[in-house]
Structure 1
Amino acid sequence: MTSFESSSLLSSSMSPSSTDQSTSPSITALKSLLTTTLRITTTDNRVFIGTFMGTDQLLNIILVNTEEYILGNETSRFVGQVMLPWRLVLHVEAFNQQSTPNGKAKDDKSLYI
């Protein structure tokens, strides 16, 4: 079983109208998540698991190598690169890479059991 760590990526301090985002702690947190595997749940009962590549100016989330799941359905489909509108994002979780005994992070392919 993989573990996900809850993340408050889309807090009120990250609204698109925020000023001086370059020094914001929220922007720093986003930058630290680049190339991390994210699990994003949307308001239309879909879950996207993919590699976080960034956001646009409106804070829409960009994922690559993404799988789409529909809640209540056990099947998935590969959708590749997606842009998720921030208004549809309900919940964001970051994949917590666990270290192996030799100190290296496990490959995130373990996410897909």
Structure 2
Amino acid sequence: MEKSQSEDYLKSLLNKNLRITTSDSRMFLGQFKATDSDRNIILGQTFEYRIPPPPKHVEQGAEPVTVDMASRYLGLVAIPGGCITKIEVEEFASQMKGNR
């Protein structure tokens, strides 16, 4: 992707909700505000979710267990680029290009 295409893509993400997973098993959900050349990301109106560890021992054929993720409101956060393992854009059909 060329630099101008990259810049246009990043601009199109401004104020969209991103889900960012970090290497310490946390997930941040907030509005994309900025990034830099080190891949650090600034999110606004952010919630942090702690992903629970998988059960250590599950019997074969056992019922699946649903665990709620603990969350807290953080507001404006900076996420270091080196800690990011996954970035997802949260879009609804009405927000995608070409849809009305």
Q: TM-score if structure 1 supplies the norm length?
A: 0.64
Stretch deviating more after TM superposition (72-81 or 83-92): 72-81
State which of 25, 31, 43 in structure 2 corresponds to 1:63.
Answer: 43
1:41 shift after superposition: 0.2
Partner Cα separation in structure 1 for residue 38 and residue 69 of structure 2: 32
1:95 shift after superposition: 0.6
State the identity as a percent: 41
Give the AA of the match of 2:36. D
Partner Cα separation in structure 1 for residue 38 and residue 8 of structure 2: 17
2:84 paired with 1:89: yes
Mapping of residues 5-84 of structure 1, within 5 Å = 23-72=3-52, 74-84=69-79
Give the AA of the match of 1:87. G
Q: CA RMSD in A?
A: 2.1
1:57 shift after superposition: 3.8
- 3-state secondary structure, aligned to 1:29: helix
Any unmatched runs of 5+ in structure 1? 1-12, 14-20, 104-113
Q: TM-score if structure 2 supplies the norm length?
A: 0.71
1:38 shift after superposition: 0.3
Mapping of residues 95-110 of structure 1, within 5 Å = 95-99=90-94, 103=100
Bigger Cα Rg: 2
Give the AA of the match of 2:45. N
1:31 shift after superposition: 1.1
Any unmatched runs of 5+ in structure 2? 53-67, 95-99
Stretches of 4+ aligned residues off by more than 3 angstroms:
none
- 3-state secondary structure, aligned to 2:45: strand
